[in-house]
């Protein structure tokens, strides 16, 4: 019995040493060979929702004819989906510019809608509280999508670079996620960490960051590291605060 116990103890020690040998050096991401690329569907759904929300805004909050801007957004969006229909694996300078241009176009048009909405409130030109609240909700949700897309496109070089680049070729991070530092936690938590599993953030992770930042008016579990990330998060917080305090409050008052 004693001999068997010693053999079991030795076997466990060997297993532990083997696991330690398999771990990457401290602070280095585990390599995931042949990563299939990030799924296209979550980001594509978000773009479609943003386009639909803008198309459904009241006419006095829209630039020009109703479907001109949505048509331009689709014109930028379709080539991106055609090149990477299922997984984000291929990228070049033109595709990168198209994707950034799409985010900027959605952002500019939604900002104009927000400014027009606030201007009408300050001037007292609206007495339809239900329409106002609905428009404010549309602008707010679109704002969340816009910043989620901006975080997703900029952090660590974008969705293609995050999964296809290896080692030192991966650009520096704009955000620090919990998984980036969970490698020394309890086993079942550490198993999902970047160091142990090669985890990389996807669109859903950035969408969650955007939702929490827009709701709490500050970062929660994910911290901005770069100046541009901090400015983006500050801009989102201020715009969400403006909607909450001015637009929604005014709309509730009109409902009474």
- The confidence score (pLDDT) of residue 70 equals 92
pLDDT at 243: 81
User: What's the start-to-end Cα distance of the chain, in Å?
Assistant: 81
The pLDDT score that the predictor gives to residue 17 is 45
What is residue 22's predicted lDDT score, i.e. its pLDDT?
47
Q: What is the DSSP code (8-state) at residue 244?
A: I
For residue 223, the cross-strand partners are 176
Contact between 80 and 152 (Cβ < 8 Å): no
pLDDT at 41: 92
pLDDT of residue 59: 84
- The angle formed by the CA atoms of residues 197, 199 and 202, to the nearest 5 degrees, is 160
Give the whole-angstrom CA distance, residue 202 versus residue 6.
Answer: 46
- What is the per-residue pLDDT for 190? 62
CA–CA–CA angle 144, 150, 153 (5° rounding): 135
Q: What is the pLDDT along the chain (256 residues), one digit of tens a residue?
A: 444 544 454 454 454 444 444 444 555 554 455 677 789 999 999 999 999 999 998 888 887 788 899 999 999 999 999 998 898 888 888 989 999 999 999 999 999 988 888 777 776 666 666 777 788 889 999 999 999 999 999 998 888 888 877 656 778 888 988 877 766 666 666 666 666 667 788 999 999 999 999 888 777 888 889 999 999 999 999 888 888 777 766 766 665 5
Contact 77, 47 (CB under 8 A): yes
pLDDT of residue 15: 47
Q: Which residues contact 248 (CB under 8 A, 6 or more apart)?
A: 133, 136
Is residue 46 within 8 Å of 148, Cβ to Cβ?
yes
Judged by phi (left if over 0) then psi (alpha if -120 to 50, else beta), residue 64 lies in: left
Instruction: Give pLDDT, residue 154.
Output: 92
In the prediction, which pLDDT does 2 show?
A: 46
Within 10 Å of residue 12's Cβ, how many Cβ atoms? 10
The Cβ of residue 41 has, within 10 Å, a number of other Cβ atoms equal to 12
């Amino acid at each position: 019995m004693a001999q068997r116990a010693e053999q079991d103890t030795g076997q466990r020690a060997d297993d532990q040493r083997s696991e330690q040998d398999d771990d990457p050096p401290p602070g280095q991401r585990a390599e995931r060979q042949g990563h299939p690329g990030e799924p296209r569907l979550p980001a594509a759904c978000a773009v479609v929702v943003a386009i639909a929300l803008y198309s459904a805004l009241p006419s006095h909050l829209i630039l020009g004819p109703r479907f001109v801007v949505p048509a331009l957004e689709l014109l930028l969006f379709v080539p991106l989906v055609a090149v990477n229909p299922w997984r984000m694996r291929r990228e070049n300078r033109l595709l990168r510019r198209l994707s950034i241009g799409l985010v900027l176009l959605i952002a500019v048009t939604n900002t104009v809608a927000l400014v027009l909405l606030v201007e009408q409130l300050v001037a007292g030109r609206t007495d339809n509280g239900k329409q106002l609240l609905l428009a404010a909700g549309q602008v707010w949700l679109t704002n969340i999508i816009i910043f989620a897309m901006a975080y997703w496109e900029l952090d660590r070089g974008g969705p293609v670079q995050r999964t296809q680049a290896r080692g030192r070729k991966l650009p520096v991070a704009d955000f620090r996620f919990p998984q980036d530092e969970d490698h020394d936690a309890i086993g079942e938590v550490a198993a999902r960490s970047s160091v142990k599993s090669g985890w990389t953030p996807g669109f859903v992770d950035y969408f969650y960051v955007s939702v929490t930042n827009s709701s709490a008016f500050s970062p929660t579990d994910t911290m901005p590291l770069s100046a541009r990330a901090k400015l983006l998060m500050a801009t989102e917080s201020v715009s969400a605060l403006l909607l909450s305090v001015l637009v929604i409050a005014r709309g509730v008052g009109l409902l009474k």
